[in-house]
């Protein structure tokens, strides 16, 4: 495994598994299988309503708690809940997480960020992060944080490399964790000729080439999958290195285009939605 060194000295695996849109049964299975195959980073969120299942997947894997880098996210409905962190830990069945995000810059997000800082001070979160805090939200947070976050989780892939955002992140040593690293499975991205060519050159699949590009960009990457073969492939990306020229060819695909266009109206909706958490 390759690791990223965070701005607080903690090491985070470069490759993990994401669990967005996975049902509890799928999440439990994907996480258990992934950890048995050698993964050690798992990403979930309050909003995915599969935290209990992720906890069961970790249990099933037989790995000790400290062998897993577990990442989750507080949803805006929880930002003013003083027990949000404890309730999240209880759902996951752990007494700390390795990384705790606030998921969206919605609602009282500063209260949410203060919960992260408190959790960090109490050892309940070994590192903290912000998710989807691009633009003015990050500008404002920079004037208010007491603890600089270790991660930003944001949409990133070869069509949208977050070149502007990374200038700010680099100033603070904040690492980028890419979501939609495979364009959420987009056919057009996976079938770009450059990936077919590089895949043939290295004996890999286009998806593996894209994921390797992420790690060589210095991003942590958390592809989601419910397919065991894909899960195996997605970890098997560290035995080849793209050259500078090949990285430049991939960079040429950047067209500054997101898949997901968030609006202020959606953020207001996010603030008003409460996940129906799984019952124990
Ligand atoms: N912070 C946020 O707001 C936010 C938003 C979105 C996502 N995320 C996080 O980021 C993670 C990744 O995003 P994502 O899962 O939505 O998108 P993604 O990883 O870009 O793509 C997942 C899709 O790609 C397919 N896939 C996976 N591995 C493949 C492979 N080797 N070859 C071909 N297809 C493959 C999967 O299908 P199969 O199941 O068939 O493999 C699935 O349809 C999420 O799971 C979540 O943890 C965070």
Ligand 1 atom having least distance to the Cα of 233: 31
Decide: 189 and 158 in contact? Cβ < 8 Å.
Answer: yes
Distance 182 CA to ligand 1 centre (A): 6
Ligand 1 atom having least distance to the Cα of 226: 39
Quick: pLDDT tens for 101-160: 999 999 999 999 999 999 999 999 999 999 999 999 999 999 999 999 999 999 999 999
The span from the CA of 177 to the CA of 129, in Å, is 10
Share of the chain above pLDDT 70, in %: 100
Q: Show Cβ contacts of residue 129 under 8 Å, excluding neighbours closer than 6 positions.
A: 71, 99, 100, 101, 102, 116, 149, 150, 151, 152, 153, 177
Give Rg (Cα) of the chain.
Answer: 18
Indicate the average pLDDT of the chain: 98
3-state SS class at 72: strand
The span from the CA of 53 to the CA of 136, in Å, is 35
Decide: 150 and 127 in contact? Cβ < 8 Å.
Answer: yes
User: CA-based diameter of the chain, in Å?
Assistant: 53
Token pair listed for 50 = 């599969």
Of 13, 15, 18, 47, the one to substitute when testing ligand 1's pocket (max ligand atoms within 8 A of C-beta) is 18
Distance 184 CA to ligand 1 centre (A): 5
Q: Which fold has domain 3-272?
A: TIM Barrel (3.20.20)
Quick: pLDDT tens for 250-269: 999 999 999 999 999 999 99
The span from the CA of 165 to the CA of 37, in Å, is 33
| End-to-end CA gap in the chain | 34
Distance 132 CA to ligand 1 centre (A): 16
The span from the CA of 262 to the CA of 191, in Å, is 26
Answer yes or no: is pLDDT of 69 > 90.
yes
Residue 119 has a pLDDT of 99
**Domain boundaries of the chain, sorted by first residue:** 3-272
Q: Show Cβ contacts of residue 215 under 8 Å, excluding neighbours closer than 6 positions.
A: 2, 14, 15, 221, 237, 238
Decide: 17 and 74 in contact? Cβ < 8 Å.
Answer: no
Distance 82 CA to ligand 1 centre (A): 31
Q: Which residues pair with 128 in a beta bridge?
A: 100
Of 15, 20, 131, 267, the one to substitute when testing ligand 1's pocket (max ligand atoms within 8 A of C-beta) is 20
The span from the CA of 244 to the CA of 33, in Å, is 34
Answer yes or no: is pLDDT of 280 > 90.
no
Please tell me the pTM assigned to this model: 0.98
| Ligand 1 atom 48, closest CA | 179
Q: What is the band of 279 on the pLDDT scale with cuts at 50, 70, 90? A: confident
- Catalytic positions, written as ranges: 48
Token pair listed for 126 = 């070994």
Ligand 1 atom having least distance to the Cα of 230: 31
- The residue-averaged pLDDT of 199-217 equals 98
Distance 185 CA to ligand 1 centre (A): 6
Backbone angles phi, psi at 264, to 5 degrees: -65, -35
Residues with CB under 6 A from ligand 1: 18-20, 43, 103, 131-132, 153, 179-185, 205, 207, 222-227, 230, 233-234
Token pair listed for 102 = 């606030």
Q: Show Cβ contacts of residue 59 under 8 Å, excluding neighbours closer than 6 positions.
A: 93
Of 224, 226, 237, the one to substitute when testing ligand 1's pocket (max ligand atoms within 8 A of C-beta) is 224
Which DSSP symbol is given to 122? T
Answer yes or no: is pLDDT of 166 > 90.
yes
**Is residue 96 classed exposed, middle or buried when 0-12, 13-18 and 19+ CB atoms within 10 A define those classes?**
middle
The span from the CA of 146 to the CA of 181, in Å, is 30
Token pair listed for 160 = 């949208």
Distance 144 CA to ligand 1 centre (A): 32
The span from the CA of 130 to the CA of 140, in Å, is 13
């Amino acid at each position: 495994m390759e690791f990223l060194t965070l701005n607080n000295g903690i090491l985070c695996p470069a490759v993990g598994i994401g669990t967005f849109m996975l049902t509890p049964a799928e999440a439990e299975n994907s996480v258990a299988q992934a950890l048995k195959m050698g993964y050690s980073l798992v990403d979930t969120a309050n909003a995915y309503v599969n935290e209990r299942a992720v906890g069961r997947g970790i249990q099933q894997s037989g790995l000790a708690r400290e062998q897993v880098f577990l990442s989750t996210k507080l949803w805006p409905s929880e930002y003013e809940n003083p027990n949000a962190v404890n309730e999240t830990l209880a759902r996951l069945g752990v007494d700390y997480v390795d990384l705790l995000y606030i998921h969206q810059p919605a609602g009282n997000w500063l209260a949410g960020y203060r919960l992260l800082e408190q959790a960090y001070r109490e050892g309940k979160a070994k590192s903290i992060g912000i998710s989807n805090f691009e633009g003015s939200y990050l500008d404002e947070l920079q004037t208010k944080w007491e603890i600089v976050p270790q991660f930003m989780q944001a949409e990133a892939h070869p069509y949208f490399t977050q070149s502007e955002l990374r200038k700010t992140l680099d100033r603070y040593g904040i690492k980028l964790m890419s979501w939609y690293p495979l364009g959420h499975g987009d056919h057009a991205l996976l079938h770009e000729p450059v990936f077919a060519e590089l895949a043939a050159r290295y004996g890999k699949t286009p998806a593996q080439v894209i994921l390797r590009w992420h790690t060589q960009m210095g991003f942590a990457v958390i592809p989601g999958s419910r397919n065991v073969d894909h899960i195996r492939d997605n970890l098997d990306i560290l035995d080849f290195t793209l050259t500078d020229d090949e990285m430049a060819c991939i960079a040429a695909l950047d067209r500054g285009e997101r898949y997901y266009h968030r609006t202020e109206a959606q953020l207001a909706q996010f603030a008003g939605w409460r996940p129906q958490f799984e019952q124990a």
